[in-house]
């Protein structure tokens, strides 16, 4: 329904609007409000008449129905002679809104139905251990196959299934390669650590200076000499 702020630029340009401004009584805005209230009071009755016309014409408002198409069908009927143009527009908007809601619900339900069909069909393909080269006639008697309305729908789901299986195989091989690489890496690290430990021990042994070795040899020589000297001094047992 039109608003006063929308109509004011048009109405105010009319000479009849200017003529009313100098008169006592209701203002142009008051008259507009009275008119709108009258339209609202008539709206439900006229909406019912419009629905009857549409029913007689077997015409249904859909999401792509234009107002011109709607108005043409309504105005062709004699009962539309007393209808207000504003109420015709309001009725169209109301019916179009319902059609849009209905279409959204239909799409939602259709998507749910197709999702179930797809899942059932893919399950069948897995259970039959499908080879990608398997001809369609191997599946033609299955309920999951017959549930689709066309071959294009079956083909789409089948291609999706192929893609999923290929990705699954690809991921499996990728994980296997990573696992093998990880094991090799651990084995290499273990071997490397063992070799490093051996090298450190060898290096530690080799890294002793000649003076350290000489000092150790001198100490051993002194100990041996002291023992021999002690033996010579000790009296022999009878």
The number of distinct structural domains making up the chain is 1
pLDDT at 203: 52
| Structural domain that includes position 70 | 4-127
Answer whether residue 179 is part of any domain. Answer: no
More confident residue, 139 or 97: 97
| 3-class DSSP state of 129 | coil
- pTM score > 0.75 for this model? no
pLDDT at res. 72:
95
198 inside domain: no
Residue 48 belongs to a domain: yes
Whether residue 163 is contained in a domain is answered as no
The kind and range of the H/E element at 7 are: helix 4-11
36 within a domain of the structure (yes/no): yes
- Pairwise pLDDT comparison (230 vs 45), residue with the higher score: 45
Q: What is the pLDDT of residue 138?
A: 66
Q: How far apart are CA 71 and CA 91, in angstroms?
A: 10
**Is residue 92 a contact partner of residue 106, using CB atoms and an 8 Å limit?**
no
Is there a domain that residue 96 lies in?
Answer: yes
pLDDT digits (tens, 9 = 90+) for 86-107: 899 999 999 999 999 999 999 9
In degrees, rounded to 5, the angle at the alpha carbon of residue 44 between the alpha carbons of residues 9 and 98 is 85
Quick one: how many helices (H) and strands (E) in the chain? Answer: 8, 0
Are the beta carbons of 146 and 124 closer than 8 angstroms? Answer: no
Is 100 inside a domain boundary?
yes
Whether residue 142 lies inside any domain: the answer is: no
CA distances from 137 to 133, 134, 141 (A): 12, 8, 8
Nearest CA to 162 out of 196, 193, 131, 120 is that of 131
């Amino acid at each position: 329904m039109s608003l006063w702020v929308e109509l004011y630029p048009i109405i105010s340009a009319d000479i009849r609007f200017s003529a009313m401004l100098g008169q006592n009584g209701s203002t142009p805005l008051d008259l507009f409000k009275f008119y709108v209230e009258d339209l609202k009071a008539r709206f439900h009755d006229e909406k019912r008449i419009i629905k009857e016309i549409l029913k007689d014409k077997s015409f249904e408002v859909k999401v792509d129905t234009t107002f011109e198409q709607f108005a043409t069908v309504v105005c062709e009927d004699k009962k539309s002679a007393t209808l207000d143009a504003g109420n015709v527009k309001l009725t169209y908007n109301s019916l179009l809104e319902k059609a849009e809601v209905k279409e959204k619900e239909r799409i939602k339900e259709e998507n749910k139905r197709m999702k179930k069909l797809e899942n059932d069909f893919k399950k069948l393909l897995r259970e039959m251990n499908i080879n990608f080269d398997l001809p369609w006639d191997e599946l033609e008697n299955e309920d999951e196959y017959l549930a689709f309305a066309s071959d294009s729908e079956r083909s789409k789901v089948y291609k999706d299934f192929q893609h999923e299986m290929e990705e699954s195989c690809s991921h499996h091989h990728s994980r296997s390669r990573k696992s093998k690489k990880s094991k090799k890496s651990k084995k290499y690290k273990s071997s490397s650590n063992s070799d490093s430990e051996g090298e450190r021990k060898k290096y530690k042994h080799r890294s002793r200076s000649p003076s350290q070795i000489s000092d150790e040899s001198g100490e051993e020589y002194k100990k041996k000499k002291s023992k021999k000297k002690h033996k010579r001094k000790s009296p022999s047992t009878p």
